[in-house]
Amino acid sequence: MNKYELAVVISAKADDEARAASLEKCKKLIERFQGTITDVNDAGKKKLAYEIQKMNEAYYYFIQFEAPTTAPAEIEHRVRIVENVIRFLVVKADEE
Q: In terms of pTM, does the model score above 0.95?
A: no
- Mean pLDDT value across the chain: 93
Per-residue pLDDT tens digits for 33-42: 999 999 999 9
The SS3 call for residue 64 is: strand
What pLDDT, on a 0 to 100 scale, did the predictor assign at position 80?
92
pLDDT band of 96, cuts 50, 70, 90: low
CA distances to 15, 17, 28, 61 from 89, rounded to whole Å, are 22, 23, 16, 11
Contact call for residues 86 and 59 (beta carbons, < 8 A)? no
Sign of the C-alpha dihedral computed for residues 90, 40, 42 and 33 taken in this order: positive
pLDDT band of 94, cuts 50, 70, 90: confident
CATH superfamily of 2-85: Ribosomal protein S6/Translation elongation factor EF1B (3.30.70.60)
Contact call for residues 57 and 47 (beta carbons, < 8 A)? yes
Which helix (H) or strand (E) covers residue 56, if one does? strand 55-67
DSSP 17: H
What pLDDT, on a 0 to 100 scale, did the predictor assign at position 15?
93
Can you tell me the distance from the alpha carbon of 96 to that of 82, in angstroms, rounded to the nearest whole number? 31
Domains of the chain: which residue ranges?
A: 2-85
pLDDT at residue 57 tops 90: yes
